[in-house]
Amino acid sequence: MSAGEIVAGDLVSGVIAAAPINDPVAPAAYSTWVWIVGLVLLALIGVWYWFVFYRTRKRPYEEDEGGRDRYADLRTTMLGQVDAAEARYREGESDLRTLHLDLNHILREFANGRMRMDTSSLTVREIARLEGTDRLVALLSEYEEPAFAIDSDAEALAATDSARAVVRQW
């Protein structure tokens, strides 16, 4: 053994030998205020959970206090834009591809107003993950092929009628 090992061994055994051995002591009871604070915190957590679940639950269709659809103005604006896109197509100002791109933009703008979030940069698959977007997703999926294909067999009137139906019913 080296001199360093002997000194380290003596120090360790000296520290262990110097530690007093006491009998175990019973734990102290918590003060009353600790119990009160704990119960108040648990109650606040329960109230918070109730509030979050109550406020985020799925609700049936709601109307404004006047019995009017709260999206009526948005619907009117979007239906006007669909009509304008169809008119541009009928007058020859846009082709089938441009019509489908316009309808895609209009429906995404409508979704922005309905869902109160920006859907312009979301893919169709990402929109599909959002609740209640089934018809919108189906229509946007249909618009992808004519909007990006060189040649398409899509029909302009069917596309605008489908867009109007989604805007009116969603």
Question: pTM score > 0.95 for this model?
Answer: no
- pLDDT for residue 3: 52
Q: State mean pLDDT over 41-53.
A: 94
Confidence of residue 11 (pLDDT cuts 50, 70, 90): low
In angstroms, how far apart are the furthest CA atoms of the chain? 102
State pLDDT tens for residues 85-121: 999 999 999 888 889 899 999 999 999 998 888 888 8
Q: Where do we find the tokens 């008119």?
A: 87
* Packed helices 72-90 and 156-169: angle between N→C axes, nearest 10 degrees: 170
